[in-house]
Amino acid sequence: MELRIHDERYERADRATIRALQLEKLQTLLAKTWETNAFYRDHWRAAGVSPDDITSLDAFTAKLPHIRKADLIADQEADPPFGRRAAHARAQGGQLMVFTTSGTTGQGVEVHAQTRAEWRRTSKVSDYQLRWGGLEPGDSMFLCFPITLLGGGRIELVGLESYGLTVYPVGNYDVARKLELMARFKPNAIQATTSYLAHLAAVSECMPPAPGLKAIFGGGEGGGFSYLERLQEQWGVPFFNQSGATQTRVDHMHPCERGIGSRARPGMLHNIDPYFLIEVIDPETGRHVKDGEAGEIVVTSLIHDDIPLIRCAMSDRAVYHDPAYCDCGRPFCGVEIGTISRMDDMKKVKGINIWPSRLTT
């Protein structure tokens, strides 16, 4: 399969070059954060560590403490509504793009924001997904996420329009209206949650529901390989999923041209390593897992320096892969498609850990 390269500088680089770039960006980020962000500075001081101690990526993982949702909630409750972690950005007085989380974990609703400079950087991360998924500037996308305060929807809209797509924001219409508009405007692609793509197909009177599509794009939920495979069969085009979070303010893991792969060798969600640093950590030891092993995803944004996100433990479990797992040759690490699930979804059955969201149907 021919590769659809978005940025030769990074996609043709070797792994050592990418890791060196990550360390360079990270050290610059840590120095600025130490100077401007009391939330992180106090968190690091409590652990007895400073940016001067981070001389390598290994030292970063070993020495710098991670943060969790509870830390973010406590911060914004102490200094509402954004918390001390956004104080530097707010003092600049510029435009903010504000998001909230859904609060479905029961731990509270987080408030996140990014400055205009950060906003421009995150919009470039989506370019990889769209290029790898076969779309070109001028193509059209039906965006089925509602446009609200939630990150999902507005994050995608910024990325799609920045890439140069004609976007139909149909998320606030009911399903019948969406199908009617789909038949009228004949988009090149559709983006929605994975479950909503299945719902659209289920209620459509024709199969595939929208002939002439190049691809469908989905995310926001877990799903086993069989579920994703069924989506492709229903729509008759490749499915490209995505992974990110409101905390990261963009989806930063995407499949390459291989898409979901095969049952024998599922595809890989490539992390966009020049912009984000991910770790997949064994929760019991704190060590990075090996290729093919599962652990908790920990994310650092290398492009958010006004309102940083540094070593945020996401409570998401996934199977980690080194770049060599995928034969596309890109030097980006990532996680196996169909393996992301919530850590707190785990059930223990007869001594065996089971994540129901990964079960196939």
Q: Show the domains of the chain with their CATH numbers.
A: 8-358 (3.40.50.12780)
121 has pLDDT over 90: yes
By residue count, the chain amounts to 361
345 has pLDDT over 60: no
Give the mean model confidence (pLDDT) for residues 255-260. Answer: 97
Which pLDDT belongs to residue 12? 97
169 strand-pairing partners: 143
- Helices 194-203, 225-235: axis angle to 10 degrees equals 40
Which pLDDT belongs to residue 207? 85
How many degrees, rounded to 5, is the angle at CA 129 between CA 60 and CA 339?
Answer: 65
Closest CA to 118 of 306, 325, 343: 306
Query: Measured in whole angstroms, how far is the alpha carbon of residue 164 from the centre of its chain?
Result: 21
Which pLDDT belongs to residue 348? 38
- Sign of torsion, CA 101 244 222 292? negative
- Please report which confidence band the pLDDT of residue 346 belongs to, taking 50, 70 and 90 as the band edges: very low
Give the mean model confidence (pLDDT) for residues 26-44. Answer: 98
357 has pLDDT over 50: no
Cβ within 8 Å of residue 247, ≥6 positions away: 72, 101, 110, 112, 299, 309, 312, 314
Element (H, E) at 100: strand 96-100
Total-model pTM: 0.93
Q: Give per-residue pLDDT as tens, 301-327.
A: 999 999 999 999 999 999 999 999 999
Closest CA to 245 of 190, 293, 313, 194: 313
Q: Give per-residue pLDDT as tens, 134-143.
A: 999 999 999 9
CB atoms under 10 Å from CB of 2, counted, come to 5
241 strand-pairing partners: 218
Which pLDDT belongs to residue 352? 41
Structure tokens at 174: 């009911």
Which pLDDT belongs to residue 105? 56
Cβ within 8 Å of residue 333, ≥6 positions away: 270, 271, 273, 278, 320, 321, 322, 323
Structure tokens at 116: 């205009």
Residues 72, 15: Cα–Cα separation, whole Å = 33
The DSSP 8-state label assigned to residue 222 in this structure reads: -
- Please report which confidence band the pLDDT of residue 355 belongs to, taking 50, 70 and 90 as the band edges: very low
* 3-state SS, residue 322: coil
- Please report which confidence band the pLDDT of residue 220 belongs to, taking 50, 70 and 90 as the band edges: confident
153 has pLDDT over 70: yes
What is the average pLDDT value for the chain, to the nearest integer? 93
Which pLDDT belongs to residue 165? 98
Which pLDDT belongs to residue 17? 98
Q: Give per-residue pLDDT as tens, 43-99.
A: 999 999 999 999 999 999 999 999 999 999 999 999 999 999 999 999 999 999 999
Residues 127, 191: Cα–Cα separation, whole Å = 14
Structure tokens at 319: 């199977």
How many Cα atoms are found within 13 Å in the side-chain-facing hemisphere of 12? 7
Q: Give per-residue pLDDT as tens, 181-213.
A: 999 999 999 999 999 999 999 999 888 899 899
Both ends of the chain: CA-CA distance in Å?
30
Residues 319 and 225 sit within 8 Å (Cβ to Cβ):
no
CB environment 207-217: b (16+ within 10 A), e (fewer): eebbeebbbbb
